Amino acid sequence: MKTDVAVIGGGPAGLAAAMEAKKHAKVTLIERNEELGGILQQCIHHGFGNFIFGEALTGPEYAEHFIEALEGVDVLLNTTVLEIDKNKRMLLSGPDGVFEMEAKAIILAMGCRERTRTQIFIPGTRPAGVYTAGTAQRLINIEGVMPGKHIVILGSGDVGLIMARRLTLEGAKVEGVYEIMPKPGGLTRNIVQCLHDFDIPLHLSHTVVEIVGKKRLEGVFVAKVDKNFKPIEETKRFVPCDTLILAVGLIPENELTKKTGIELDSVTAGPVVDEGMETSMEGIFACGNVVHVHDLVDDVSLSAIIAGREAAKHANGEKTERRKIKVKAGENVRYVVPQIINGRDMEEITFYFRVKNEMRNVVTRLIVDGEVRKEKRELIVKPPEMVRLKVKGELVKNANSISIEVKKVA
Amino acid sequence: MRKFICIQCPLGCEITVEGEKIEGNRCVRGKEYVMQEMKNPKRVLTTTVFIENAIHPMLPVRSNGEVPKELLKECMKILAGVKVKAPVKKGDVIYKNILNTGVDIIASRSMERK
């Protein structure tokens, strides 16, 4: 089998990448699930698409908008990619068995997966009733099965907050949301509309220290943590519950990327990409949550549109510059994507970054060859909320040093 | 002085209200939100209903407008008893004028007949 652009993953990133790439090239979209849409199909709440469509859509509505735009794309469902080699030959497994495909360009759009109990080391027994938030969400919203009646949620990221509301509306009692950090992880509006609206308590600087139960979960021990996140023994107390929902973070899904030998960024856990979303391996692109975990699906789609466009160009034999200038994370910046500027012809480039510490009244700055070339005021920047700085492509095209920093306004 | 966090978009503006003065909103939707919130808080409802002969047993649905916050649980009770049959198109009305709010419950996605 041969194609111009192979897109791996039919979630929001893969859908937008395929939609864009098909304008210029033959595209094959590969999805391991039985339908397209990825996690959007179970995210039935609204709030998607504010920036792209100017209205708040539900996850399925957002997905369907892109699925409808796929005419002309070859879609392979129930199919998974096992291997990719440097020549962009892939080994796949689908309903008819194992087969090979050769592409001129590949777009990695595998998204991310949830951290589990094992990754955060909660001691205790191994009873039924411990779920990741995404599993609970799939059970309720797609399968129509309630995971339990008395719920404790660990983690106050958006997924945890959304599930607190959803479980409450479906008749469960959410005993509380526990967050190890001193500040909530999710968007402030979700604290309001998911917790305050339903009087669900949020316990900051708290964590689950032990899981108790033989066959079914009987409860958890929670405790306050000190500033080094160490549980304080005297504050330990028992909370009876039959279900523990873990909303403790997402990790880009990069098994395939690693195996292919593509360079990964140790901070984002995703591939290092340039301004055209190309990885360290020529002709292999990446977009969406596989690169770094986003707050908003709108940004996932936007990164995918760039990847789709640039991958199609590559498939059509267009050559690009490879200047390999590293974008440095300056003052109060934890990481920046793209990590590399190669000097592509781009009208504009958006730098996405996360800060280390919360700060009010700041400017975010692009520094090129020692000079401030772009500044933007922000009222507040917080570690859980991604910051964007959009600049003209020509500002960085021929740069020899580039950095992004966040400074307090004097 | 009353404080609000706007929930209309992910920016989450912190808005303060003192008498007639509304401050902190970055757009007009923030002002409208706060005025509605003081009078009669309303929310969009998203949930699921049973569907037969489709790829999944549940169909995601939403309200096509906002319903008063205190009626959310009542709406959930009504929708728990609703069962539809595939095929369904995105936007199809699943339940009309729920609790006389003037708001319809519509399908959030299309589902073909299996």
CB-based contact B90 A170, cutoff 8 Å: no
Q: How far is the alpha carbon of A150 from chain B, nearest alpha carbon, in Å?
A: 18
Q: Are strands A402-408 and A325-329 parallel, antiparallel or unpaired?
A: parallel
Q: Which amino acid is at A318?
A: E
**Which pTM was predicted?**
0.94
Which pLDDT score, from 0 to 100, does residue A339 have? 98
pLDDT, one tens digit per residue, over B17-35 is 998 899 999 899 999 999 9
Q: Return the DSSP state at A192.
A: I
Which pLDDT score, from 0 to 100, does residue B79 have? 98
- Does ipTM surpass 0.85 in this model? yes
To the question of domain B46-107 being in CATH 1.10.3720.10, the answer is: no
Least confident range from A80-84, A162-166, B9-13: namely B9-13
Which pLDDT score, from 0 to 100, does residue A115 have? 94
Q: Are B64 and A61 in contact (CB under 8 A)?
A: no
Q: Are strands B105-107 and B58-63 parallel, antiparallel or unpaired?
A: antiparallel
Which pLDDT score, from 0 to 100, does residue A135 have? 97
pLDDT, one tens digit per residue, over A89-103 is 999 999 999 999 999
Tell me the CA distances in angstroms from B69 to A241, B5, B34, B49, one per residue in order: 27, 16, 14, 20
Alpha carbons A200 and A188: distance in angstroms, whole number: 15
Tell me the CA distances in angstroms from A339 to A16, A268, A274, A292, one per residue in order: 22, 10, 6, 11
Which pLDDT score, from 0 to 100, does residue A373 have? 97
For chain A, the structural domain boundaries read 1-114+250-318, 116-248, 321-410
pLDDT band at A255 (very low <50, low <70, confident <90, very high): very high
Which ranges of chain B have pLDDT less than 70?
none
Q: Is the pLDDT confidence value at A185 over 90?
A: no
For chain B, the structural domain boundaries read 2-39, 46-107
A321-410 has the same fold as A1-114+250-318: no
Q: Which amino acid is at A208?
A: V
Which pLDDT score, from 0 to 100, does residue A186 have? 87
Chain B residues with CB inside 8 Å of A197's CB? 43, 69
In whole numbers, what is the pLDDT of chain A averaged over residues?
96
Which pLDDT score, from 0 to 100, does residue A189 have? 86
Q: Is the pLDDT confidence value at A410 over 80?
A: no
3-state secondary structure of A335: strand
Q: Which of A35, A59, A189 sits opposite B10 (nearest CB)?
A: A189
Alpha carbons B90 and B80: distance in angstroms, whole number: 20
Assign a CATH topology to domain A1-114+250-318: FAD/NAD(P)-binding domain (3.50.50)
CB-based contact B48 A189, cutoff 8 Å: no
Considering the segment(s) A321-410 as one domain, its CATH architecture is Sandwich (2.60)
Chain A residues with CB inside 8 Å of B27's CB? none
Which pLDDT score, from 0 to 100, does residue A79 have? 98
Q: Which of B4, B5, B6, B7 to mutate to test the interface with A (most CBs of A within 10 A)?
A: B7
Express as a percent the part of chain A with pLDDT over 70. Answer: 100
Assign a CATH topology to domain A116-248: FAD/NAD(P)-binding domain (3.50.50)
Chain A residues with CB inside 8 Å of B86's CB? none
Chain B residues with CB inside 8 Å of A361's CB? none
3-state secondary structure of B74: helix
Task: Let me know if A82 is exposed, middle or buried by CB neighbors in 10 A (0-12, 13-18, 19+).
Answer: exposed
Q: Which of B56, B94, B110 to mutate to test the interface with A (most CBs of A within 10 A)?
A: B56
